Amino acid sequence: MNKVFRVVWNSTLGCWQVAGELVRNKTKSGSASLLVVAGLLAPNGAFAGVADNALPSGGVVASGAAAVQQANAQMVIQQSSQNLVMDWQSFDIGANASVKFEQPNVNAAALNRIHSSHPSEILGQLQANGQVVLADSHGFVFGANAAINVNSLVASTLAISEQGFLDGSIHAQAASATTASPNGSISTAADIKAAGGMVALIAPSIANTGNIETNGGQIALLAGNKVRIDCNPPIISIS
């Protein structure tokens, strides 16, 4: 049976408790703090820190249409198609850098497949008026001073099907055990805000010490080998 689970903070009991996917954990500010109880690991292996003005590099459009503009430590991705798939050599964002997706509407989505040799470090600003999907098998580090302001965010260390994405859903699956790139982990201490959609972090192990907030959307930390997210309406399954 497919299972979805979350861990929420019970302010009355002063402890973390397992809860169903529809249970929301709110602080006084309306934000949520979540943990996955199993396998709380930082990304494995040593990797070099990124420069303060670092930006994603090597972006190539695989499907859809977009133009990338860069000035100093700012990058703007102007997406003109409803769905966009891009391949990147790296997707690091330095502490003084910013990346902004300008999308046709709140339902427009951009899948970013990252082919770096280390976990993606997002230490600066990431903005989007639509949906941003990030896929990096080596993992993600969202730094404590990072600010993510999007309509919807999915970050996955599992491979995401391009066709499934173009059809309107997220099909994420772990890499084969025989491949050279094992699925990494996700560590976030960032301030993540979704204006109306969901925030979903997908990896074999996830650690969250940051602040995740949505405006009526879902927040899900998903640890499994297969995850499917149907976006309209949002339905999440994990196995």
Q: Give the pLDDT score at 49.
A: 75
Between 18 and 211, residue with greater pLDDT = 211
Measured in Å, how far apart are the chain's first and last C-alpha atoms? Answer: 7
Q: Give the pLDDT score at 72.
A: 93
Q: Side chain identity at 145, as an amino acid letter? A: N
Of the given ranges (116-125, 199-208, 224-233), which has the lowest mean pLDDT? 224-233
Judge whether 30 and 68 are in contact, CB under 8 Å.
no
Q: How far apart are CA 175 and CA 229, in angstroms?
A: 18
Q: Give the pLDDT score at 233.
A: 56
Look at residue 28 and tell me whether its pLDDT is greater than 60.
no
pTM, 2 dp: 0.78
Q: How confident is the model at residue 93 (pLDDT cuts 50, 70, 90)?
A: very high
Mean pLDDT of the residues in the chain? 80
Cα dihedral sign for 100, 105, 106, 108?
Answer: negative
Q: Which two tokens stand for residue 24?
A: 């929301």
Q: How confident is the model at residue 235 (pLDDT cuts 50, 70, 90)?
A: low
Q: Which is nearest to 133 in space by CA: 193, 202, 68?
A: 202
Q: How far apart are CA 44 and CA 109, in angstroms?
A: 30
Provide the 10 A C-beta neighbour count for residue 99. Answer: 24
Look at residue 206 and tell me whether its pLDDT is greater than 60.
yes
* Region 174-202 average pLDDT: 80
Of all residues in the chain, what percent are helix, strand and coil, respectively (each to 5)? 0, 45, 50
Exposed/middle/buried for 16, CB within 10 Å: 0-12, 13-18, 19+?
middle
Strand, coil or helix: 30: coil
Q: What percent of the chain has pLDDT over 90?
A: 59
Q: How far apart are CA 174 and CA 225, in angstroms?
A: 5
Say which DSSP state 222 is in: E
Gyration radius (Cα) of the chain, Å: 17
Q: Give the pLDDT score at 175.
A: 67
Q: Which is nearest to 66 in space by CA: 120, 108, 107?
A: 108
pLDDT tens for 124-151 read 999 999 999 999 999 999 999 999 999 9
